[in-house]
Each structure stands twice: as structure tokens, then as C-alpha cells.
Chain A
């Protein structure tokens, strides 16, 4: 009898725990979206931010976030996929492979502030660039690379072995097999994982504080020359991203409408991450259907 009562109580406790987790998420989302959408407007998204007075927007921060993400992915995806292919296909069990695995593990578990510090030394001070988009993107690469390597490695491992054997048995070289059979088959998984990683990069702030900086120069969106100082495309300019903006106005900002701007920014940030998440699922299942020809 006693055991049965304990069982019921325990089950109840587990249900309560699940309920708590779900309500934390619902609470967070509804809070952010409810408060945020009172401040999100077209004007908010297209006005430059203000340092002192109320009524600033997030135009530059929003652009910077996407631009830094774009540059980061431009560097990370080829390197990460290459590294993943190496780990899945070329690495032979042994000392060197273990060392590389440990490196990936270390890189993946480094706190982002430590990566930010490394970025400050390497890409800001040593190179003499100062705070730049490129420096920020390289710091984010350090933090994103292990994720992409793992995603690729897992994706390639999940491709049935038979396919690889079939291709090799036809006299096709290993590299050509990777290029034409393994990577295309692994593509949906890599893409899904990549988009989720992009969501993480998009919201990252600590690694960018000391690498991309806390300010954005005045930008002229009609200037598309990437070498011009005022062009938004210049990768050698400082850039405050949306996530960094939320932090900086809350801790050292002087604007009177801190809450309004942060609420709006948080909502935009969350919505973007949500969008990344949905996009990853949608594209993943879409390609999966196409490749496997299931209707």
C-alpha cells in the first residue's frame, strides 16, 4: 500500500516539474512578446539608436546583428563542414584524432566571455584593427566552429554506410564519394543544425563586447562601397549588435526609455531566434521529403 502511495506522489511531483518547466517558458515568452510588441513598430526598427534622449530605435543594431551573423557563418560553415568531414571520414582512431576531439571539446565548452577575451587579444590588439565586425565574427567563429563540426560529423555518420560502400564499390574515390553522395545526403541535417547554431550566434553578446565593440559609427545605407568608413558593409568598423545593445543600455546607458527600448529589442531578438528555430524545422523536413521521395 505504502509503495503505491509513494508512486502516486512521485508521479505527481514529476508532473509538477514538467508543468513548472513549461510555465517558465510560457511566462518568459508571453512577458517578452507582450511588453515588447507595445514598442515594436516600423519606426522603432528603422530609427537609429540614441545615446541620451528617448525615442531611439534599433536600426543599426538590427542590421549589425544580421551582418555579423552573415560574416560569421561565411567563415564557420566551410571550416566547420570541412572539419566535420575530416572527423567523420578521414580521422583514424589514434592519438591525433583524440587530440583534435579534445580541442573541439575545449572550444565548445569555453565560456563566451573567455572567447571574447581571446578575441580582444588576438583580433583587436595584436592585429591593431581595434573593434571591428571582422574581429567579432572571428571570435564568434571560435565559438561556433565546434558546433558546426559536430553537426556535420553527426550528419555524415547518420548517412547509411551502404551508400558509401556502393559508391566506393563502383570505383569512385573517397573524396568524390564524400562530395557527391555523403554531403548531399547529410545536407538537410547539416542545414538544420547550422540554422540552430545561427540562432545561438545571433543572440550572443559576451564574446562581442570586446571584439565588435559597444558603438556603431554613423552609417549611410546608400553607401554600398565596403571600403567606405560610413558604409554599413565595411567589415573594419565597430558594430554594436542587438544583444549587446540590450546589455549596454541596461548597465551603462543614459537613455530615459531604457525599458521600452530593451523590451522592444528583446522581443525582436526572441522573435528572430524563434524564426530561426521554425525555419530550421521547416527546411529540414522539406528537404528530407524531397530527398527520400516520400509523398
Chain B
């Protein structure tokens, strides 16, 4: 699959390394199996889109990559997700440290009810960064990268809840960027936003690709085709097809994929 890539995406010259290897991953909610033994490799500095109808397991899969499923009572995973040579599903993983490197942005903007500045510094302070000058620098840098700096630089100490929905979501992205993650997981990050904010967030995601490996769950087919490099199609807990986005959207090899993309179900 990796070798094929060159043919379909001419803008990528070098072969990218895999940042995550998913091997035979199964996820259960109690008795119910939500993800049925999937295997896939996530490449570095790539946007990987996960698509599929509601309840197909794509969000469950996404949330397992930084162990957010730990919060759901009764949820557990089998198989492995290899990151930096370690299976992140294993019990001896320090989940807090893992989540610093594999950040997540949620569907609904969820800024803390604190000031814009504190939203960014909250997690930094927790990881031991106390120096004011350093904090200031990271706040500016991450807000700039999230394309929010110009809009909020004069009101950093106002409540984050006074921002618009789109701004809040970009603040949430900035907050994640500030932790300098390697992988960013985005769970339908723009579905709750208006079209203009949506466009801004999309633009931002493409921009972020240069520094991070991005996995994005989306319901929006156009969004997947616009921004992603690779696309994975999920159905009923199975990974039906995983390939270059262009191929998935123009010439899918599985019939179900084609049916879904052309809007025949889902």
C-alpha cells in the first residue's frame, strides 16, 4: 500500500514512515463488539480520514488511540496499536503521558470556563512548565498556529466562553497544539460549526499536517475528499477499505464503499 502511494499523490516525494500500526484491534462495550479486528497503518504527516455511517465504530476506534475509551465503564480493547514501539493499549502505559503525545479535539468545542490564556496554559502548568515567559511564548505560538492569535491577542484574559463557536474550536486545537503532540485525533471537529468557521478549521487542519500526523473522523464526505490524504471506510465495525483518498473517491475497489460515497446509504 505504501508503495502505491507515489502513484496517486504526486505532492509527496519521500516515502513516509508509519507513526501508528494497528494490528487486529477489537473494541468491546461490555458484551457488544464495536470494532471487529481491524488492521491499518497511520502515516506520519498525513491526514487520515475515517468515514462511515453513524455507529460504524470509527469514533470508537479514534478514541481508543489515546485511550479515551478508558472513561467508558465496561469498554475494553484487544489487539494492539503500536506507537514508538509500544502497544499503547497495554496496562503499563502511562495514559497521561500518552495523551500528551496523542492529542484530541472533540466534536463540540469544549473550552474550559477559564480565560483564553488559561485554556492554553492549564495543561502546560500541570506538566511542570511554570516560567511566565515560556508560557507566554507558547500561548502566542500555538494561537498563531491555530490562526486565532490576531483575533484574540487583545483579550487573552477574557473568558474563553465569550468566543464564537468557530473560535472556541480553534482555541481547543491551539490548546492541543501547545502540548506539542505527535499525533492529533480530530473527532468531527467542524460538524458543530457554521460554514465559514468550518472552512477556517479545515484550512487550519491542512496547515497542521506539516507538523503533525492527523486522524480525523468526519461525516462530511466533501470534507474528507477535500482535506485528507488517505481515507478509511468503516461499516458495522469492519474496516471495509483503506486507501489513498483519491482512489477511494474515484475508483473504490469495494462495492459497499462506492455505494456509501455516492450516498446510497448512511
Chain B interface residue count, Cβ-Cβ cutoff 8 angstroms: 30
A166–B161 Cα gap in the complex (Å)? 15
A216–B110 Cα gap in the complex (Å)? 55
What B residues does A171 contact at CB under 8 A? 96-101, 123, 126-127, 179
Which of B7-15, B65-73, B242-250, B256-264 contacts its partner? B65-73
Q: Could you tell me if B96 and A166 are in contact, using CB atoms closer than 8 angstroms?
A: no
Task: Known contacts A163-B112, A176-B126, A181-B112; decide if A169 and B73 are in contact (CB<8 Å).
Answer: no
What A residues does B106 contact at CB under 8 A? 162, 165-166, 169
Nearest-neighbor residue (CB-CB) of A179 within chain B: B126
State how many angstroms separate the Cβ of B34 from the closest Cβ of chain A: 18
Mark contacts of A160-172 with chain B using CB atoms, 8 A cut-off: 1 yes-contact digit, 0 otherwise.
Answer: 1011111111111
B108 on the A face (CB < 8 A): yes
Task: Known contacts A171-B99, A176-B126, A293-B162; decide if A92 and B112 are in contact (CB<8 Å).
Answer: no
A75–B207 Cα gap in the complex (Å)? 54
What B residues does A166 contact at CB under 8 A? 106, 110-112, 172, 175
* Interface residue from B100, B108, B161 paired with A170 (Cβ < 8 Å): B100
State how many angstroms separate the Cβ of B72 from the closest Cβ of chain A: 11
What B residues does A165 contact at CB under 8 A? 68, 71, 106, 110
A128 on the B face (CB < 8 A): no
Q: Could you tell me if A293 and B112 are in contact, using CB atoms closer than 8 angstroms?
A: no
Q: Could you tell me if B110 and A163 are in contact, using CB atoms closer than 8 angstroms?
A: yes
A166–B185 Cα gap in the complex (Å)? 12
What B residues does A92 contact at CB under 8 A? 73
A127 on the B face (CB < 8 A): no
State how many angstroms separate the Cβ of B187 from the closest Cβ of chain A: 10
A144 on the B face (CB < 8 A): no
Task: Known contacts A172-B126, A176-B126; decide if A162 and B68 are in contact (CB<8 Å).
Answer: no
What B residues does A167 contact at CB under 8 A? 112, 122-123
Nearest-neighbor residue (CB-CB) of A92 within chain B: B73
A184–B112 Cα gap in the complex (Å)? 10
State how many angstroms separate the Cβ of A178 from the closest Cβ of chain B: 12
Q: Could you tell me if B71 and A172 are in contact, using CB atoms closer than 8 angstroms?
A: no
Q: Could you tell me if A169 and B99 are in contact, using CB atoms closer than 8 angstroms?
A: yes
Q: Could you tell me if A168 and B159 are in contact, using CB atoms closer than 8 angstroms?
A: no
A292 on the B face (CB < 8 A): yes
B residues 153-203 in Cβ contact with A at 8 Å: 158-159, 161-162, 172, 175-176, 179
Nearest-neighbor residue (CB-CB) of A292 within chain B: B161
Q: Could you tell me if A293 and B161 are in contact, using CB atoms closer than 8 angstroms?
A: yes
In this complex, the interface size class of chain A, counting residues with CB under 8 Å from chain B, is 20 to 34
Q: Could you tell me if A172 and B123 are in contact, using CB atoms closer than 8 angstroms?
A: yes
Mark contacts of B217-248 with chain A using CB atoms, 8 A cut-off: 1 yes-contact digit, 0 otherwise.
Answer: 00000000000000000000000000000000
State how many angstroms separate the Cβ of A93 from the closest Cβ of chain B: 6
Task: Known contacts A162-B110, A163-B110, A293-B159; decide if A170 and B71 are in contact (CB<8 Å).
Answer: no
* Interface residue from A160, A170, A173, A180 paired with B175 (Cβ < 8 Å): A170
B266 on the A face (CB < 8 A): no
Nearest-neighbor residue (CB-CB) of B127 within chain A: A171
B57 on the A face (CB < 8 A): no
State how many angstroms separate the Cβ of A167 from the closest Cβ of chain B: 7
A291–B159 Cα gap in the complex (Å)? 8
Mark contacts of B103-147 with chain A using CB atoms, 8 A cut-off: 1 yes-contact digit, 0 otherwise.
Answer: 110101011110000000011001100000000000000000000
State how many angstroms separate the Cβ of B200 from the closest Cβ of chain A: 20
What A residues does B98 contact at CB under 8 A? 171
A185 on the B face (CB < 8 A): yes
A164–B72 Cα gap in the complex (Å)? 13
Nearest-neighbor residue (CB-CB) of A293 within chain B: B159
State how many angstroms separate the Cβ of B128 from the closest Cβ of chain A: 12
State how many angstroms separate the Cβ of A286 from the closest Cβ of chain B: 15
What A residues does B103 contact at CB under 8 A? 169-170
B residues 85-105 in Cβ contact with A at 8 Å: 96-101, 103-104
Give the most central of B68, B113, B179: most A CB within 10 Å: B113
Nearest-neighbor residue (CB-CB) of B100 within chain A: A171
Nearest-neighbor residue (CB-CB) of B67 within chain A: A168
A93–B72 Cα gap in the complex (Å)? 12
What A residues does B66 contact at CB under 8 A? 169
A171–B183 Cα gap in the complex (Å)? 13
A291–B111 Cα gap in the complex (Å)? 12
Residues of B within 8 A of A (CB): 66, 68, 71, 73, 96-101, 103-104, 106, 108, 110-113, 122-123, 126-127, 158-159, 161-162, 172, 175-176, 179
Interface contacts beyond A165-B106, A171-B126: sample of 11 additional A-B pairs, CB < 8 Å, sorted by A: A163-B113, A165-B68, A166-B112, A167-B123, A168-B99, A170-B103, A170-B122, A170-B175, A171-B127, A292-B159, A293-B159
Q: List 24 A-B contacts (CB under 8 A).
A: A93-B73, A162-B110, A163-B113, A164-B71, A165-B110, A168-B68, A169-B103, A169-B104, A169-B106, A170-B99, A170-B123, A170-B175, A170-B176, A171-B98, A171-B99, A171-B100, A173-B96, A176-B126, A184-B113, A291-B159, A292-B113, A293-B158, A293-B161, A293-B162
